[in-house]
Amino acid sequence: MKRHPGCHGATAATRVPAAVGMVAFLLLALLPGTSGAYLTLAQEAAVMIKLRHDLHSAQPALAQKLVDWRPNSTAVPCGWEMVVCDTQLRITNLDLRWFSPEDKAARRFSPTGMRPVVADSGNASAAGSAPALRLPPELARMRHLEKFSFGMTVRLALPSEWGQPGSFPSLLWLSVHGGSLEGALPDIRPGAMLLLRTIRLQFTSTTVMLPPSWGSRVDVLPALNELERFTLPPEWGAGFPKLELLLLDELGLTGRFPGTWQHGFPALQSM
């Protein structure tokens, strides 16, 4: 994998023609449903442009710190910082953890140990009353996406489409850190995220209960072997046949594990 050089000749003063934005939204309108085909190159670009618009709307000051993520940038998505593509210009890695400038260099050398930046909203109450940022459902249709990380302490909503059969066919790593979660985590159905090995979810002001559907059947998340920071449903004793590592140290749990777990998790090696 390598990062495509992209087009970095645009300055902050460059304006994207209105037709470009119109094409992106038309392509999004033509996207297939959850049972349709995976995204074309043009549709992947349209999803990224829409995501850039939504992020800038949620945190304009933060988004302005990265040139490629400003709405007036003309760089192609494979040239944006925090986006990695293969030689065919298909997106393989989205590392969308928004950091303060002093953390920028450190992130390149320690991709798993960094903290998400706090929302630059002026005050906490304003951030809490702002509309939730809904991450794009179309990300689940990126056929070559192997790693998705998102970190921004704002209210987040995760789309139900992420848990539908056929979603994220190549995804190995999913990490989402947010301020709070609007609604529940999406149910995951058999056939979704078949290769996913690691899930890390953390919300600073929300206690997250994982849906029973995530672990109640052996054909749901069959490749998962690392799970971190959750409240635990009893139904999970029937699932996760390959789970090897379960991290619970930051949950502040008391009492006993669900009784249905006694004969579950046949591959578990460390807790």
**131 backbone dihedrals φ, ψ, rounded to 5°:** -60, 150
Phi-psi label, residue 267: left if phi above 0, alpha if psi -120 to 50, beta otherwise: alpha
Domain boundaries, the chain: 82-208
Taking the C-alpha atoms of residue 57 and residue 132, their distance in angstroms, rounded to an integer, is 11
Taking the C-alpha atoms of residue 50 and residue 92, their distance in angstroms, rounded to an integer, is 18
Q: What is the pLDDT of residue 30?
A: 47
Q: What is the pLDDT of residue 117?
A: 44
Tell me what the mean pLDDT of segment 112-123 comes to.
40
Say how many CA atoms lie within 13 Å of 116 toward its Cβ: 22
The C-alpha angle with vertex 147 and arms to 143 and 149, in degrees rounded to 5, equals 125
> Which tens digit of pLDDT belongs to each residue from 124-154?
444 456 788 999 999 999 999 999 999 988 8
For the chain, the average pLDDT equals: 75
Strand intervals (E) in 17-108 = 83-85, 91-97
The residues pairing with 117 across neighbouring beta strands, listed in sequence order, are 152
Tell me what the mean pLDDT of segment 216-239 comes to.
78
Q: What is the pLDDT of residue 154?
A: 84
Taking the C-alpha atoms of residue 31 and residue 210, their distance in angstroms, rounded to an integer, is 29
- pLDDT exceeds 90 at position 43: yes
Q: What is the pLDDT of residue 100?
A: 39
Taking the C-alpha atoms of residue 103 and residue 105, their distance in angstroms, rounded to an integer, is 6
Of the ranges 79-88, 94-103, 227-236, which one carries the lowest mean pLDDT score?
94-103
Selection from 202, 51, 198 nearest residue 115 by Cα: 202
* Residue in this structure with the two tokens 């090696």, named with its chain if needed: 269
- Enter the tokens of residue 183: 């609604």
The residues pairing with 173 across neighbouring beta strands, listed in sequence order, are 147, 198
- State how beta strands 147-157 and 91-97 pair: parallel
